[in-house]
Structures are given as C-alpha cells and as structure tokens.
Chain A
Amino acid sequence: MSAAVETPAERTVEPTERRPARLAELFLLILALAAGITAFAMVGRSVTGELPGDFWPVSLLLTGIGVAAHVVLRLRAPWADQVILPAVVLLNGLGLAMILRLELADTKGAAAWSQMMYTALGAGIAILLVWFLRDHRWIRRLTYTAMLVGLGLVVLPLLPVIGREINGARIWVNIAGFSLQPAEFAKIAFAIFFAGYLVTNRDTLALAGKKVLGLQLPRIRDLGPIIIVWAASLAVLVFERDLGTSLLFFGLFVAMLYLATERFSWVLIGLVLFGAGALVAASVFPHVGARMDVWLHPFDNELYNAVGGSFQIVQGTFALAAGGLFGTGWGEGYPYLVPYAFSDFIYSSLGEELGLTGLLAILLTYLLIVQRGLRTAIAVRDGFGKLLAGGLAFVMALQLFVVVGGITRIIPLTGLTMPFMAQGGSSLLANWIVIALLLRISDNARRPSALPMRGMVAQGGAMHDPIVVGAHDGATPGTGVPVRRPAADAPSRGSTPSHPTEAISRHPDPPTGGEHL
C-alpha cells in the first residue's frame, strides 16, 4: 500500500526556508510605541497642561530603539520570537511615562531623561549582542568565567569605598559617580554558570543516590554546589541585608537544578534549606527580624511611625487602594506621596494611576515575556540553551514576584526593582541583555536546521526528497517537490482524471488533515 509509505512525508512540518517578515512584531511594536508615546503626552497634559518638554526627543528615541531592534532582528535573528520585543518596549515606555510624570510633579530623584539614556544604552547593547552573538552555545565556554564574575559582583557592595548602603540594603556600588546594583548583572552571570555547570553534571546529580520515600535523594558529595550557593545567598541576606537578591539567586539555582535533574527532591531540599536559613537569620539578626515585623504588622502605628518602619509600604498600599479598578488616570493621582515612587514603588504608582485594570495588563505583559522565554527553552534543541533560556525566563518571573509580592505583602519587602519599568540603569541594562539572550536563543530554536527534528525522517528524504512509491497522485518522485495535498481551490479545476483531487478521493485511507499545507 502506498499510504503506509507516504504518511511520514505527509505529516512532516515543512520548515520554510523563507525568512519570516516579522510583520506581527512590527504591528505589535507600533501598538506598544503608541501606548508609550500617548502616555508621555497624557502625563504632560495632566500635570502641567502641556506636552512635556522632552516629549519629542523621548518619543523619537523610543521609536528609534524599537525600530532599530526590529530591523536588526529581521537581519540577524529573523526567526526569533515576535512578541518579546514589543512587550519589552511597552513596559519600558510605560515605565518612562510614570517616571516623567513624577519628574513633572517635582518628585525628588525622578529622572526621566537619564532613564531614557539608559534605555537607549541597554537596547543598544542588546542590539549589538544579537548582531554579534550568532549562536548562544558559544556562551557555554564562559561557564566558569561567569561563576567568578557572578561571585565578584555579589561581593562588590560589601567592599569598602565603593560599596553603598541605601535604605538599609547594601546592594549598591558607586563607581566614578555612577551607582550600580551589581546583583542585576550577577543574575545573568549565575544563569550562564548554572546552565553550563548543570548541563555537564546533570546525570550525576539526577541519578546517583538513594531513593527514600519515593524521593531520589542526591549523594552527599553532590550537595557541594547547592551548599555553596545556599551559603552565598544567606551571606547576601545577612551582610547585604537584602532578602530579594538572596531569594533571586537561590530561587534561580533551585529552579535550574530542577530543570536539569528532573528531581523534585532538589527543590524540597532547597526550600527547606532556605526557609531554615531565613528563619534563623530573622531571629539572630535584628535587621532581618525588623523587616519581618514590618511585613507582618505594617499597619501597627508604632511600626508605621518608626524610622525604617512600615511608612513606605503602608503609603504604597494606600496608593494602590486609591487607584481602585480603573485608576485615577495618568497624572491625576498622588503617587509621589510614596517614598521612591519612581523606582522601588513604581508598581504602586502605576496602580494608583492605571488602576487594577492597568496593573493586570502589565502583569500579563510580563507573563507573556516569561512564557515566551520558557517556550523558547522548550523549543531549543541543546541542553545548555534550554537551561539558559529557562533560567533567564524564570529569573525575570521571580524578580517580578519578589518586587510585586513585596509591595502587595505576599513576602517581606525587598530592594529589587521592577524589570524595564523602575528607574535604575543597572536594572535596565541587565534586563535588556536578558532579552537579547532570549531573542538569540529563540532565533536558534526556530531557525530551520539541517539537524533532524522530531517527527522527521532522519536520512535523505523527508525534507527535500519525499519517499513516494507508486506516484499515485501525480507527484513525480525524486524531483524535490514536496507532496502537496490539493487546497480548497482545487475542485473547480478537478475535471482531469489524473488530477490529484481524484487521486485523493479514490484514496483508500483518507489523510487526517492538511497538516503540511
């Protein structure tokens, strides 16, 4: 029977050699830019009654960034995910609008133009990265360099002279007048290190060890790396006084460990270790304990009035509440009543003026980026790429969870910033780099490859030379023309007896559907 032979060829997804035009990305990009630029205009109109002074330069620069990134993706990563870039531009634009709005209202510290410059810088680095990094697997050779860089970055804020403590958290360094949050960059370094390390050692970590109560426990000597990362995370918590960064690193490691080993026992061990460590830290170190009190009883008057107490989080909660379902509208609220409304608490500022509706839209936009990143991880073929994409996507989700969870009191408040929205150069640069890596990996994941794909006949035929026996439906074997099932437009022309339509209608075993059209 010819049908048995024909099936693999028919059901193969034909990789198109033509580059995608990325029209979906362009369309979404226009929407994202429109939302951002409209917001710039609206905050000006609301706060000062006219277009903000920087309206044209900021709008043109943001548009330029979006268009440049789009063009570079077309040229160098045409198969990359088309949703990620517009989503990032949207978040970045809305963040800029809020910072601009706060600056127009004379909020001390809000600096929209500098944020714009960092956006341009971050996007520029991302564009260069996509341009010059042709294959993400090249990064794997940096595995141990990345570890050293990561550890170095974590230690930086503890160093005298350059280390800075701001609002109780020592997660800043000051170099030549520029403030940096090294942890933002460290998370990328760690993701690279974990991916490289785990892809090499995953089998040992996954398979060695006893099975107890249905859990595959690791061997003691394999616990080494997790203990080191655990200790490093606790050190961050205790010495840098930042639960967020600590949670970020540790969560990233545990998630990637789980991804690589497929062993739930690692997650359990990780959670128990971290929970115990945090509890001990909270009871031993007063500053950690104080943060816990603020988290648990923010509305307590004594804590509210205390220096370093719950004033900020309570005011942030008030801001969110004031926004309600639809918000006050751009420029119509009082977000500046909250300390650091433009950075740590930009979520509450956005919540006040855009309401629950706006925040849910923003959260969904983040979710879209993260899920696209995870999809990239699923689609990419190499283990290193899977771990890196999965880790980077997850670390963004985790960072958002730590920030927003802190403001909405799911977890204690920390010093992390909301990716792309909060004012801060380090965060912007680092997250644009994350996006560049995700785009690069997704391009590689979807790029048609000479390597066999799942569901494809490996050797010789399916892609270019379908094995067809009997030439039953008029296709000439061996010509390289794929078997085409007639489309809907065919029947009108179907009078010739040799036409495929007839051949199909006579087919004893009807095909399941136009999978390959």
Chain B
Amino acid sequence: MNTTLRRLASVVMVMFLALMVSTTWIQFFHADELNTDSRNVRAIYAEYGRARGPIVVGGEAVALSKPVDDEFGYQREYTNGKLYSPLTGFFSLANGTSRIENTENDYLNGQADALWVDRLQNLLTGRDPEGSSVELTVDPKAQQAAWDALGDQRGAVVALDPETGAILALVSKPSFDPNDLASHSTKEAGEAYTELLNDDSKPLNSRATNWTYPPGSTFKLITTAAALESGDYEPDTVIDAPSTYTLTGTQTQVGNFAGTSCASAGEMSLADALRISCNTAYLGLAGELGADAMNEQSEKFGFGKPFSVPFRTDASRYDNDPGAMNTAQVELSGIGQGSVIATPLQVAMVSAAIANGGEVMQPYSVDTVRDPQLEVVRETSPTSVGRAVSEETANQLTDMMKSVVESGSGTAAQISGVEVAGKTGTAQWGDTSKTDPHVWFTGFAPADDPQVAVAVVVESGGDLGGQATGGSVSAPIAKAVMEAVLNG
C-alpha cells in the first residue's frame, strides 16, 4: 500500500497546489478588477475609513482626517478650505476626488507601491494603517497675502520659485470650500456639488491653472523674446510706433491705451516700447516676426501643452483658433490678443523663465511625501522643461522689465529696497463694448537674484471695472505677494 499512499500524497499536493493557484488568482492577479467592482462597497469603506494622510503647507495640515463615530470612522477636514482648494481639491464620498486629493491618493491612503514596507510593518505589528502626508511647496504667507490682496475680485494669483518651478502661491477666486463636499451624507455632499456646478462664477474651476484668458500685454514679453532671439533686434533697435495701426487686410484701426501716441517721432526703441507697453509698435513687430517665430517662441515658454503640477492644468495656446490665423491675427497676437490664450500659471512661467536665465522649470506643488514615521517616501527634484531664450536675451528682457516697474506702466509694483522686474497687461475680451478688460501683472523680484515670480489676473478690471489697468489693479497685488515671499 506504500506505493498508493505515495501516489495519494502526490494527489494531495496537486489539490493544495490548485487551492494556492486559485487563491493567488483572486488575491493577486484579479484583485484590482475585483476591488473596483461597483458592488464592492469595501473599496468605499476602506477609502473613507482610513486614517488618510494630511496635506501639509508650511508645517500645518490644511487637509486632515479626523476620527469620527460613524460607519466610516474618519472625516476629512480642510482647515482653510477656500484658501487652499485650488491645490487640495476635494475628497468626497458622493463626488469623487480632485487635484492633490486625486493625484496623490495612493500616498494619502497609504496604498502606493512605494509604501509596501509600511504596510508590511502594520501587518506585523497590528498598527492601524495610516496614509502618508503630502507636503506642498506653497508658502503660507504668500498664499494668504495673495488671497487678501485679491479681495472680493474674481481672478487668480500664481507665484513660483523661478529657480525650481515650485509653486509658492496658487489662489483662485471665487473659490469653494471642500468641507461642503466632504460630508459623508451623500445627499448633502451631492447638493453642495450641484450648487457649485451650477454657480455662474464656476468656483470649482481653478482660475489659476484651469482657466485661460487673453494674456494681453504680458504676452509682449514673448514677442520681445522672439524679436531678440531672431538676432535682428536689440533692446535699443528702433521700431515703428505710429499713433494707430491698421491691421493688415482689414479696416480695423488699433490704437494705444487711452488713445495716446507712443512717441512723437512715430518710432521708438524696443526697450521703450515694452516699458510703456506700446501696442502699435508690437502689432507691427509681430507681423514682421511672423506666426511661426511667434508660435515657436511661445511653445518654448510652455505654450501648447498641459502641465502636471501634479494635477493637470489647461494648456495655453498661441493659435487657439488655427483656421483664423491670418496676418491680422498674427499682428494682434503680438499684444496678446486675438487667438492667444494663457493660464495665469503659464504667464507666471514666462516671468520665471526670464528670471531663471531663460530656462523653463517644470512647475510643481508637491515637495515631499512622508510616511507616518516621517520618513521621506518621495521628494520632487526640480526638472527643466527646456530653454526658452538665451541667457543674454533673458538678461536683456530683465533689464527691460526693470524699467517697466521703475518708470513704465508697472510702477505700482515697486518694493522699497528691492529691484522688481515686471510687465502689465490689460486684455480686452468678448464684445468690448459690453465688457471691461481683464487686467494683468507678471514679474519677479529681486531682479538681480530672483526669489519669486508672479502672475496676477483680475477679471473685468475687478473693483475698478473699466477704469482698471494692470498697473493700477494687478501690480499692487503682485507686490504684496512678492513682499510676502521676500520678507519670509
């Protein structure tokens, strides 16, 4: 009987092998599919019952999970919801997740592959699994300064560290409070979401990263860059600056701001044209440079593609309406009107690139991810997107931007004791007889050792409406943000 016993032992081995294979099949190979089955409430319980890691700004949690006595066990709370929601996004049982809560979900809930050692430790010690904390690059003072300075006006503020691309401030108004969406009552959260969705001011959309505006005169930086890079222009090259400019092939006459003439001689240096933001000079300049050069230069600054910061931003576009690109449109693009659209983030990136010697840095908002034992799990290292302009061009642009703040259209951005470089913008949109222009300011400081680059847009002139200019409304906001960063 020993032969048959040995054979039976082999049969037993096969039976156990079958069980191991079937168990592995479910637990390993099919797990993802099963975990996402809509009938698996476990996934929801697990996600919402976990001690989710906090989102940290300047050492303080701006989003955290607090133990509560309900069926899930934890409630997500946002300490300053409206201020930080353009970054944090929301974490909602009824409506899903967005922004950092979405892109960093695997780290926040502790399920990222990189955290397997922690999970193994939790398994062995029986410790409650905890999510990792996500630390943002945001400077809380700059964020607050931007929020306060923007006041009740609609618009956005973006501040970057020009050297690294780290986002120092990201404000969008009107904003929403993610606490309203985090309610465990599906009904409450659902109603809050519907209300935000139907709000005409679109508070759910971040104006800083997912909203495009005509960049107006801030785009003259790119036109100037294209001119300097072409090799045919220097800052002191004299260009035509007529009182009005008739767009090629049309009857449309475009004048300068408030109908003034740029120079009595009808011509001026490129540097002066930027300093006083002379429209007619730039219309002609863009026509001279041509669509290809303009497009290429804007793409080098980051136009044409979305960024992951790590949540996805909208792409800015030089030729948003490619079919309509005629000479007149190219001329208009020179002053950031017509087919040009840009996000405030992109405009800030233009200033940051100039401040950084011409190199464009990938913008990012997550600095480090730490596990519950505060060990660094992931750290973002600054990466270059590419070079927009040569170092020489960057220096020339910096000098020109300095004069804008010193004696040009952006004097309101001056900070005592600090050299500030900048550019204003007043962008018309829609039916100009019925709308007030969006007003811009972008720049960086200190000009010789840049610490912060900003872009500010205030929709429809903000509180001043039709009287507003980039210099009067947006420059002071930019100043406040830059000061907050520089004064640390």
Query: How many whole Å from B408's CB to the nearest CB in chain A?
Result: 62
**What residues of chain B lie closer than 8 Å to A408, measured between beta carbons?**
19, 22-23, 25-26
User: Is the CB of A207 closer than 8 A to any CB of chain B?
Assistant: no
Which of B2, B31, B39, B122 meets A324, CB within 8 Å?
Answer: B31
Q: Mark B1-28, 1 if CB is under 8 A from A, else 0.
A: 1111110110111011011101111111
Asked whether any CB of chain B lies closer than 8 Å to the CB of A265, the reply is no
A436 at the interface (CB under 8 A from B): no
- Chain A contact surface mostly: helix
Main secondary structure of the interface of B (DSSP, over half): helix
C-beta contact mask, A312-356 vs B, less than 8 Å → 1, else 0?
001001111111111111111110010000000000000100111
A409 to chain B: which residues have CB within 8 Å?
22
| A258:B4 contact, CB within 8 angstroms | yes
Q: Which residues of B contact A351 (CB under 8 A)?
A: 23, 27
Stretch from A11-19, A130-138, A362-370 contacting the other chain: A362-370
- CB-CB under 8 A from B464, the residues of chain A are none
Q: Could you tell me the distance between the alpha carbons of A356 and B31 in the complex, rounded to whole angstroms? A: 11
Given contacts A321-B30, A337-B41, A394-B8, A363 and B15 within 8 Å (CB-CB): no
A179 within 8 A of B: no
Query: In whole angstroms, how far apart are the Cα atoms of A322 and B319 in the complex?
Result: 48
Question: Across the interface, do A397 and B16 meet the contact criterion of CB distance under 8 Å?
Answer: yes
Encode contact with A along B114-129: 1 for CB under 8 Å, 0 otherwise. 0010011011011111
Residues of A within 8 A of B33 (CB): 321
In the complex, chain B residues whose CB is within 8 Å of the CB of A404: 19, 22-23
Taking CB atoms, residues of chain A closer than 8 Å to B8 are 255, 258-259, 374, 390, 394
Contacts of B46 in A (CB 8 A): 322, 328, 333-334
Q: Nearest chain-A residue to B116 (Cβ)?
A: A326
Q: Mark A400-413, 1 if CB is under 8 A from B, else 0.
A: 11001100111000
Please determine whether A325 and B1 come into contact, CB atoms closer than 8 angstroms: no
Q: Please name the residue on chain B nearest to A331 by beta carbon.
A: B126
Contact A324 B26 (CB under 8 A): no
Residues on the A chain within 8 Å of B42, using CB: 318-319, 322, 333-334, 337
Using A255-B8, A401-B18 as known contacts, say yes or no to A378 and B2 having CB atoms under 8 A apart: yes
**CB–CB A363/B16 < 8 A:** yes
Is B407 in the interface zone, CB < 8 Å from A? no
Contact A329 B122 (CB under 8 A): yes
Q: Would you call A22 an interface residue if the criterion is a C-beta within 8 Å of the partner chain's C-beta atoms?
A: no
Residue A502 lies at the interface, judged by CB distance under 8 Å to chain B: no
Q: Is B45 an interface residue (CB 8 A)?
A: yes
For the complex, what is the distance from the CA of A354 to the CA of B24, rounded to whole Å?
A: 13
Q: Is the CB of A371 within 8 A of B12?
A: yes
Say if the beta carbon of B34 comes within 8 Å of chain A: yes
CB of A328 within 8 A of CB of B129, answer yes
CB neighbours of A329 from chain B (8 A): 119, 122-123, 126-127, 129
Q: How far is the CA of A408 from the CA of B16 in the complex (A)?
A: 12
Any A CB within 8 A of the CB of B40:
yes
Contacts of A314 in B (CB 8 A): 39
Residues of A within 8 A of B123 (CB): 326-329, 354-355
B60 within 8 A of A: no
Q: Is B35 an interface residue (CB 8 A)?
A: yes
Verify A324–B27 contact, CB threshold 8 A: yes
| Residue pair B28, A410 in contact (C-beta under 8 Å) | no
B392 at interface by CB-CB < 8 Å: no
Known contacts A45-B126, A46-B128; decide if A326 and B119 are in contact (CB<8 Å). Answer: yes
Measured CB to CB, the closest approach of chain A to B38, in angstroms, equals 10
Q: Which residues of A contact B19 (CB under 8 A)?
A: 363, 400-401, 404-405, 408, 410
B28 to chain A, nearest CB (A): 6
Q: Are A397 and B26 in contact (CB under 8 A)?
A: no
How far does the Cβ of A315 sit from chain B's closest Cβ, in whole Å? 8
Q: List which A167-188 residues lie within 8 A (CB) of chain B.
A: none
Q: Nearest Cβ distance between residue A42 and chain B, in whole angstroms? A: 3
Q: Which residues, 19 to 52 on A, are CB-close (under 8 Å) to B?
A: 41-43, 45-46
B116 to nearest A CB, angstroms? 7
Q: A259-B1, A328-B129, A374-B12 are in contact. List 20 more A-B contacts (CB 8 A).
A: A46-B128, A255-B11, A299-B37, A304-B39, A317-B34, A321-B26, A321-B27, A322-B31, A323-B27, A328-B46, A329-B126, A332-B122, A334-B46, A356-B24, A363-B16, A377-B1, A393-B12, A397-B16, A401-B16, A410-B18
Name the 8 nearest CB pairs between A and B, nearest first. Answer: A42-B126, A321-B34, A408-B22, A356-B27, A321-B31, A318-B40, A329-B123, A397-B12
25 A-B residue pairs with CB within 8 Å:
A46-B126, A255-B8, A259-B4, A260-B1, A304-B39, A318-B34, A321-B35, A326-B120, A326-B123, A329-B129, A332-B129, A337-B42, A351-B23, A356-B23, A356-B24, A360-B20, A363-B16, A377-B1, A383-B1, A386-B2, A398-B15, A401-B15, A401-B16, A404-B23, A409-B22
Enumerate chain B interface residues (CB-CB to A < 8 A). 1-6, 8-9, 11-13, 15-16, 18-20, 22-28, 30-31, 33-35, 37, 39-43, 45-46, 116, 119-120, 122-123, 125-129
